[in-house]
Amino acid sequence: MAKRIEDLKILENKRITDDFFILELFSAENLTDIKPGQFVQVRVDGSSDTFLRRPISIHDVDFEKNTFKLLIQITGNGTEKLSKLRNGESLNIIYPLGNSFGLPGENEKVLLVGGGCGIAPLLFLGKHLKSIGYAPDILLGFRNSERIIEYEEYLKIGNVFLTTEDGSKGEKGFVTNHSVLSTAKYDKIYCCGPDSMMKAIAGYCRKNNMNCEVSLENLMACGIGACLCCIVDTVKGNLCTCTEGPVFNTTELKW
Amino acid sequence: MVNLGFSIGDLDFKNPVLTASGTFGYGPEFDDFLDVSRLGGIFVKGTTLEPREGNLYPRMAETPSGMLNAVGLQNKGIDYFEKNIYPRISGYDTNVIVNINGSYIGDYVALAERINALDKIPAIELNISCPNVKMGGMAFGTNPGSAREVTKAVRAVYGKKLIVKLSPNVTNIVDFARIVEEEGADSISLINTLLGMSVDVRKMKPALSTITGGLSGPAIKPVALRMVWQVAKEVKIPVIGMGGIMTTSDALEFILAGATAVQVGTASFIDPQASIKILEGIEKYLIEKGFSDIKDIVGYINRNS
């Protein structure tokens, strides 16, 4: 369905850690066309220091309540301002944007791998996969136990494996070090997180002949394929992350 | 009813709200948000003879009330445009204008000849002001001799309306306006982006892969407005003003200062409907002020001060 620009009502702005919060937004429009992996462009306030929109991936969609959630990390002025929005206020959003994650093949074993804020699009994807009969495993990486977010939500989807860099919870190290990668056999991996993590997972998948999709987060202005700022170097040349992505199969990327 | 139309020679535009090249794709990118055919015209993405991949990522940085870009004219070239894009956009009921670019005068000439043959493209915008390419681009628009030469060469082969887009990165923009007018330009559009830069203090390196890039957005509006005012007073051909227009009021400033029409650029990134809102706002303003024709307010401040 068509991309649209709307003022959406904030049902809840929930702070979950020092630097993470979740905005739950209500739309009067039908949300059933939103697909896992898509993102929105949020207008902060258009003021001098937060002039451009902020691209944020869709964390979860509740089709019954007609709401969707954005999981946001405070990293600068824009996200700081968004964190202070109050319930009942509205937010100007362009959505749904970008492509979506592809489906696994029939009976394929699936692993979702997320790190830090990159876990955001994997919740909606995991729920969707579960609803259509897959049983995805989930591997999440955080810096330490205090920075673990949304763990219970992912538990509702399937087995959750954890790593922390300091070993305070789960296995110590990065997601690529987790033992599940050497003990279980997956056909398809979906990954979102820091570039270094996605590149490591892409390398692992290449070596083990697994299909891998990653969700990229490039700097962008428009989000609709007009400014050509968010390009990624692919085997087909420079492509816009906002319209040809944000999800790419790693065979397309020059990683 | 008020008359919003204007003309460049015998080419009529239904209203003075146009979109700036590089900020509106080819039009279809915005179909979900507005009826493109309501606009006075659309200036499509800068086109070159050969396909261009543009500059390396990162290509943009947010700056106070604006943004820097260093896209570098990424486009698929004129062959692809003719075959794949032109058929998709020639159905728009508005003036679709192609922004042309080159490294050499011969490139501009060859492109102008190709586009001259496209029935549904009534004009070109000669871009001698792109700050993000190593060869050509702004080099033509910041040297009076080159500006003259390229305008003359394109004029010789191009029979439809020739709009020349000027660079603000010069000491005296009026000199360039006069030169392109003398060489047969039908209209002048200004300003292209201002050369700027930004440093990422956390990473301790330039924000753009190219170090410098083009600054756009409200940050440049006062400079753009000053230049449009200076040029409009000195040339007889219509001036198309742009630079940081976000609102109706911004657009009106340019028109009152002498612009016959305006281009909406960076604003479309933030509000894809900005151009239409500005169009509706201008009409409302004219009605409220009791004017029946947009022409009555073009350059108004110059007539009454």
Name the band, by pLDDT with cuts 50, 70 and 90, for residue A46. Answer: confident
Could you read off the pLDDT of B117-164 as tens digits, one per residue?
999 999 999 999 988 887 778 889 999 999 999 999 999 999 999 999
What's the whole-number mean pLDDT along residues B218-224? 98
pTM: 0.96
Work out the end-to-end distance of chain A between its first and last CA atoms, rounded to an integer number of angstroms. Answer: 32
* Model pLDDT, residue B12: 98
| Closest to A139 (Cα-Cα) out of A190, A68, A205, A194 | A190
| Catalytic residue, candidates B85, B130, B164, B278 | B130
* CB-CB neighbors (< 8 A) of A96 in chain B: none
Q: Is the pLDDT of residue A224 over 80?
A: yes
* Model pLDDT, residue B188: 98
Domain range summary for chain B, segments of one domain joined by +: 6-54+73-197+215-303
Name the band, by pLDDT with cuts 50, 70 and 90, for residue B205. Answer: very high
Q: Report how many Cβ contacts below 8 Å link chain A to chain B.
A: 90
Name the band, by pLDDT with cuts 50, 70 and 90, for residue A1. Answer: low
To the nearest 10°, report the CA torsion of A129, A131, A133, A135. Answer: 60
> What is B6-54+73-197+215-303's CATH number, 3.20.20.70, 3.40.50.2300, 1.10.1660.10, 3.40.50.720?
3.20.20.70
Would residue B130 show up in a list of annotated catalytic residues for this protein? yes
Work out the end-to-end distance of chain B between its first and last CA atoms, rounded to an integer number of angstroms. Answer: 28
Angle at A196 between CA A190 and CA A199, to 5 degrees: 50
Give the best residue of A7, A45, A52 to mutate against chain B (max B CB count within 10 A).
A52
Comparing CB atoms, the residue among B63, B65, B269 nearest residue A227 is: B269
What are the structural domains of chain A? 4-97 (2.40.30.10), 110-208 (3.40.50.80), 216-255 (2.10.240.10)
Give the best residue of B47, B270, B273, B277 to mutate against chain A (max A CB count within 10 A).
B270
* Model pLDDT, residue B137: 81
What's the whole-number mean pLDDT along residues A122-148? 96
Could you read off the pLDDT of A6-42 as tens digits, one per residue?
999 999 999 999 999 999 999 998 899 999 999 999 9
What's the whole-number mean pLDDT along residues B263-279? 98
A117: DSSP letter: G
Could you read off the pLDDT of B80-114 as tens digits, one per residue?
999 999 999 999 999 999 999 999 999 999 999 99
| Closest to A174 (Cα-Cα) out of A223, A127, A140, A207 | A140
- ipTM of this complex: 0.95
Q: Is the pLDDT of residue B6 over 90?
A: yes
Q: Are B165 and B189 in contact (CB under 8 A)?
A: yes
* Model pLDDT, residue B136: 78
The CA-based diameter of chain B, rounded to the nearest angstrom, is 57
Is the four-CA dihedral A239, A240, A243, A246 of positive or negative sign? positive
**Would you list which residues of chain B are within 8 Å, Cβ to Cβ, of chain A?**
22-25, 29-30, 32-33, 45, 53-54, 57-67, 69, 71, 74, 217-218, 266, 268-273
Could you read off the pLDDT of A163-212 as tens digits, one per residue?
999 999 999 999 999 999 999 899 999 999 999 999 999 999 999 999 99
Comparing CB atoms, the residue among B60, B66, B272 nearest residue A229 is: B60
Average pLDDT, chain B: 96
Could you read off the pLDDT of B55-66 as tens digits, one per residue?
999 999 999 999
Which CA distances in Å does A131 have to A114, A120, A136, A215?
20, 18, 11, 21
* Model pLDDT, residue B305: 54
* Model pLDDT, residue B139: 86
Question: Going by C-beta distance under 8 Å and a sequence separation of 6 or more, which residues neighbour residue A20?
Answer: A71, A72, A73, A74, A117, A149
Tokens of B273: 């409907």
Angstrom distance (rounded) from CA B273 to CA B31: 10
Query: Cβ–Cβ of A221/B269 closer than 8 Å?
Result: yes
* CB-CB neighbors (< 8 A) of B25 in chain A: 224-226
